[in-house]
Structure 1
Amino acid sequence: MPKYYCDYCSTHLTHDSRSVRRTHNTGRKHCDNVREYYRRWFDSRIQEMIDRTTAVYESNIAVQNSTYVPPGGFMPPPFMPPSMPNNQLPPALSNQIPPSGPPNLNAPPPIFNTMPVNLCVPPPIANPNGPTK
């Protein structure tokens, strides 16, 4: 009859019977070895996650440090082609920019959570019996 090998305890049991395995698996030494095995496995997984997170964080800091943001927090505008005489844009860009100019930055933000004026009063409910006399 083959011997039973316990991976957690690194030992061979004398017999391969259900009662011997059950007795071994409920023993204090085996339970301690199982706890230690999974503690080591968990610690190694946690360390891998910490290393990955640290590498991502450091790469993001390197990217952020390479992007220059002037004081005030505003990014410079994208490259605009040199203007033509009389401050006109080249014909290819003149139809892309609205003639009204930039939006008013001092205007209050639009309010979207109000009902339109024409929907404030619900329509009258029709009488199912028809008009009253």
Structure 2
Amino acid sequence: MPKYYCEYCNIYLKHSSPTGRKQHAHGRKHINNKIEYFTEFLINQQSLANQTQTTTQTNNLLNPGFFLKEQYTANNISQGVYQPPNFIPLPK
């Protein structure tokens, strides 16, 4: 069986069995890397939307672009600044 490559962590797993993959997916480093990956994706989407907005404003065209209300970073999300609707906190 070939080694499993995690695109979020940029590593090959030594234990590529389903249980090894599951254990890796629940790990702290993997979760933080995944948050960082999608945060960068949203920031890039917002910057592209802002660029298209400025170009469409100059051309007086309508823009159904994608906009974020706030800038979300991995630190904001991990500190609990961003909480999705219907968020139920875990007991400590």
TM-score, normalising length: structure 2: 0.62
Q: Quick check: which has more Rg, 1 or 2?
A: 1
* AA at the equivalent of 1:15: H
* AA at the equivalent of 1:24: H
Q: Does 1:24 align with 2:24?
A: yes
Give the deviation of 1:2 after TM superposition: 1.4
Structure 1 residue runs of 5 or longer lacking an equivalent are 61-133
* Matched position secondary structure for 2:54: helix
* Matched position secondary structure for 2:5: strand
Aligned-residue identity in percent: 37
Tell me how far apart the structure 1 counterparts of residues 56 and 14 of structure 2 sit (CA, whole Å): 51
* AA at the equivalent of 2:6: C
Contact map agreement 1:5 1:13 (CA 8 A) in 2: yes
* Matched position secondary structure for 2:53: helix
* AA at the equivalent of 2:50: I
Partner of 2:15 in structure 1?
15
Tell me how far apart the structure 2 counterparts of residues 26 and 20 of structure 1 sit (CA, whole Å): 10
Partner of 2:48 in structure 1?
48
Which contiguous aligned blocks of 4+ residues in structure 1 show a shift greater than 4 angstroms?
A: none
CA RMSD of aligned residues (A): 0.9
Give the deviation of 1:44 after TM superposition: 0.6
Tell me how far apart the structure 2 counterparts of residues 25 and 38 of structure 1 sit (CA, whole Å): 15
* Matched position secondary structure for 1:37: helix
Higher helix share: 2
Structure 2 residue runs of 5 or longer lacking an equivalent are 61-92
Give the deviation of 1:12 after TM superposition: 0.6
Give the deviation of 1:59 after TM superposition: 2.2
* AA at the equivalent of 2:13: L
Aligned residues between the structures: 60
* Matched position secondary structure for 1:43: helix
